[in-house]
Amino acid sequence: MATQTLSLETIEDFLAQKRIAMVGISREPRNFSVMLFEELCRRGYDVFPVNPSTPNVLGRPCFARVQDIHPPVDAALLMTSPAVTDTVVADCAEAGIRRVWMYRAAGKGAVSPAAIAFCQEHGIQVVPGQCPFMFLPAAGTVHRLHGFVRKITGRYPHRHCA
């Protein structure tokens, strides 16, 4: 597997997409994934919830798989376990999705080394192990602090110079 350094350009490109699947969204209204879903919707994103065990999220129909969304989305934000991530990235490739974000704030999150390798082998841009809130303009204090801590510890993505 080729090592790839995550750049701010990759994150900005993902966030520039307006049709995003959120895979693994919870059916529990107070779950972090639902809060992130609401925030993305508030910011003008057209977010499609994906969870085969949930008929809808906040009144929006929930899809069983990313391939069921028509027309296809531009990107997929994965809120899954690493084992499920491995399957979902293959689904994304089948659906023609070229951008994947594997969410992580603490713990493993959705990050899977096998899924990262799959994405790299199939020309899918991947954001492994970041929280989107850190990169959204005017995010709350907690998210800005999280980003600041990652910057001082050297774990915040850098802009690549041309």
Both tokens assigned to 86: 């491995």
**Residue 153: pLDDT above 60?**
no
**Residue 2: pLDDT above 90?**
no
Share of the chain above pLDDT 70, in %: 79
Look at residues 94, 134, 96 and name the one whose alpha carbon lies nearest to residue 6.
134
Q: Compute the average pLDDT of residues 144-157.
A: 54
**Residue 98: pLDDT above 50?**
yes
**Residue 38: pLDDT above 80?**
yes
Distances (CA, A) of 65 to 16, 70, 74, 108: 23, 11, 15, 22
For residue 136, the model assigns a pLDDT of 77
**Greater model confidence, 6 or 79:** 79
Instruction: Output the pTM of the full model.
Output: 0.84
**Greater model confidence, 126 or 148:** 126
For residue 154, the model assigns a pLDDT of 55
Backbone angles phi, psi at 16, to 5 degrees: -80, -15
